[in-house]
A and B are shown apart, each in its own frame.
Chain A
Amino acid sequence: MNTTTQLLRFITAGSVDDGKSTLIGRLLHDSKSIFEDQFSAISKTSEKRGMAAVDLSLLTDGLQAEREQGITIDVAYRYFATPKRKFIIGDTPGHEQYTRNMVTAASTANLVVILIDARRGVLTQTRRHTYLASLVGVPHIVLAVNKMDMVDYSQARFDEIVAEYKTFAAQLELHDVTCIPMSALVGDMVVDRGANLDWYKGPALLELLEKVEIDNDVNTSDFRFPVQWVCRPQTDEFHDFRGFAGRIEAGEVSVGDEVTVLPSGRSSKVKEIVTYDGNLQTAFAPQSVTITLADEIDISRGDMLVKSSLNAPKVEKEFEAMLCWLSESPLDKNRKYLVKHTTRTAKCLFSRIFYRVDVNTLEPHEVEKLNMNDIARVSLKIQQPLVFDSYEIDRATGSFIVIDEATNNTVAAGMIA
């Protein structure tokens, strides 16, 4: 492995019945990412439970608190690497609270693997998982048609499932869908191609994970730089230094570029792009840098630097969004909440709930309140203007979380539409 490998974040959506744990176990096992002490622990447990072979699904077994109470605790993160890439798997177990968990895990993912049991085909949950993946804007989707060994590795069955899925998926905003027949149990088309699916000419799952293009998953055209922290050393050596520290969320910037500070609208030129490893001529997303400007203008955390010459983001106090309600206490339209959007936090009111989406049928329903796991189109009024893009254009500047000030809990996730 070298130090120039890329990092891919993906999630798996499906239930235990679809062989999700077996798939993750197979991926880790066949890519030689399982350590001996982990393997010996699950071998012992498999033996104790009277199983003939080692149950790879035990690798994703949870905490004591989960085992004792028979519950699952949302997202677990797992790590593995091949010589080509490093991977982070967001593993979201169980059926309950599925919407909340999947939205959470999908929010940082480049790719989602949606599992289907080849015997059962496209189910309600398949539609739900696909809708959520499209809602959260996961750039790449893999439909893993698992348990092909149970349908005699039939190409006709696979083609039938793919056709049905594509008809459904056409209604949604999906950009890159790959369908792979596989058997996680036997090990066909997961890491190795196996001997049973010769008719399939596309990539095996790991091959796809290793080569899917992810450089363009961030917006590369519009420069967006939310200011996180103002760096003022106030030492003799750096007496007049005033740098704006943050992470470039989209696009690129070069020394000399004209930039505008939003929401104030003032402009200046980039004087330096400072990093610990020396100043840069050009920096791009998702680098964390410190920018100094040619003119002294008032800038603080929560402001955003953008390039004056490019598409400007919106600067508004009211907008509409798709909201996923995450909290056990329902949305109360009479209450004020806090919105945290990029580096700015402000009070907000939900002025209207247009409709709730039934995640199984995609049908809209009129509702008065929102409960946990509900997804709805809403409008918000913010106490001060936010600088944003639509979520479709930029995941980083189009997303926000909602915090309940009374409990400080994160109660909702929003995507500006």
Chain B
Amino acid sequence: MSKHSLSHLDVLESESIHIMREVAAECKNPALLFSGGKDSIVMLRLAEKAFRPAKFPFPLVHIDTEHNFPEVIACRDKLAADLGERLIVRSLEDSIKRGTIVIKDESKPRNPFQSVTLLETIAEFGFDACMGGARRDEEKARAKERIFSFRDEFGQWDPKNQRPELWDTYNTRVHAGENIRVFPISNWTEMDIWQYIGREKLYIPNIYYAHEREVIRRGGNVIPVSHLVQPKPGEKVEVATVRFRTVGDMTCTAPVESTARNVDEIIEETASTRITERGATRMDDQTSDASMELRKKEGYF
């Protein structure tokens, strides 16, 4: 490599900073979706790199399902406070009270309903662009999505009618009422995320590292016991050494058995794993070949 050669992480980082600055410069009222998960923590660091020494030209927004791991919520609040940035939290409970979400079974995943509260929050604040930490390597519906993904008034993604995206020249334009979802880390993989967390020494929720946890085994999955998930008659609670590869809704996020207690060990494990991130951890994506595609069409990010 010549002296003017950048590593893949440097190239990805610069691309993401460029995307975030385009959003800040061209969108009237953007927001950054921040959940306290590893991908959105990487997004925060990228935003620092894009905008410091100024404040972020947008608020952080979290759509809280109230099904999140408490460690993740604690991390979310700590990081937002440490950065001194504004955090807006809107809860699915608000939508339930309004009657726009009707929950039939408390123990079922709430991901399908997240879109409702997200769209209500977009309307409440008039956001015209929401940046999210989704990656194209996660899922095949994501693999076909643009970095600047146009959504109509109903928040819907139309995969057949996407704007062509050429070079790094992004079309950010929307009419009133429409909005754009922007994915600055589209081109990052799970491995890139871990390498970056290691390089930047990012603080992440401790449940990403191996720990002892009460779990039950149900239908081939390891399920964490919580106030939402209790053993059914005949199921045995056991203590296993596990870590989470993703941290979503507690009722449908499965940990993997692991002894990786730091980032280096996680990177080593990620390099040798033979199962995809979502395949290993997301029970809601296992229900149908097109679960993610369907959720996205309804306004999910």
Contacts and interface: CB of A to CB of B under 8 A. Distances in A.
A86 B8 contact: yes
Contacts of A395: 167
Interface stretch (A71-79, A111-119, A173-181): A71-79
Contact of A64 (B167, B187, B274, B293): B293
B4 A252 contact: yes
Contact of B279 (A35, A234, A247, A409): A35
A3 B9 CA distance: 7
A396 interface: yes
Contacts of B51: 231, 245
B89 interface: no
Interface string A334-376: 0000001111000000000000000000000000000000000
Given A233-B54, A238-B53, A410 B18 contact: no
Q: Name the residue in B144, B164, B191 with the highest tally of chain A Cβ atoms < 10 Å from its Cβ.
A: B164
B206 interface: no
B145 to A, nearest CB: 9
A309 interface: no
Interface string A65-101: 1000101011111110100011010000000000010
Interface in A224-281: 228-229, 231-235, 237-238, 241, 245-247, 252, 274-277
A416 B275 CA distance: 46
B96 interface: no
A340 B163 CA distance: 14
B22 interface: yes
Contacts of B143: 76-78
B29 interface: no
Given A3-B199, A76-B144, A241 B53 contact: yes
Contacts, number: 182
A156 interface: no
A38 B289 CA distance: 11
B214 interface: no
Given A6-B1, A35-B274, A36-B274, A247 B11 contact: no
Interface string B272-292: 011110011000000001100
Chain A: number of interface residues, binned into ranges: 35 or more
A57 interface: no
Nearest to A101: B164
Contacts of A235: 53
B97 interface: no
A401 B171 CA distance: 8
Interface stretch (B34-42, B75-83, B134-142, B222-230): B134-142
Contacts of B24: 229
A63 B53 contact: no
Contacts of B17: 247, 288
A37 interface: yes
Interface in B257-301: 271, 273-276, 279-280, 289-290, 293-294
Which 3 residue pairs across A and B have the least CB separation, nearest first?
A: A37-B279, A64-B290, A7-B8
Interface of A: 1, 3-7, 35-38, 41, 62-65, 69, 71, 73-79, 81, 85-86, 88, 100, 103-104, 107-108, 215, 220, 228-229, 231-235, 237-238, 241, 245-247, 252, 274-277, 284-288, 301, 326, 340-343, 395-396, 399-401, 403, 408-410, 413
Interface of B: 1-2, 4-15, 17-18, 21-22, 24-25, 48-55, 136-137, 140-141, 143-144, 150, 159-160, 162-169, 171, 173-175, 186-187, 189, 191-192, 195, 198-199, 271, 273-276, 279-280, 289-290, 293-294
25 contacts: A6-B5, A6-B11, A35-B274, A35-B275, A36-B274, A63-B290, A64-B289, A65-B293, A71-B160, A74-B162, A77-B144, A78-B143, A79-B137, A107-B166, A108-B167, A215-B4, A228-B25, A234-B54, A288-B18, A301-B25, A395-B167, A401-B166, A403-B173, A408-B171, A413-B164
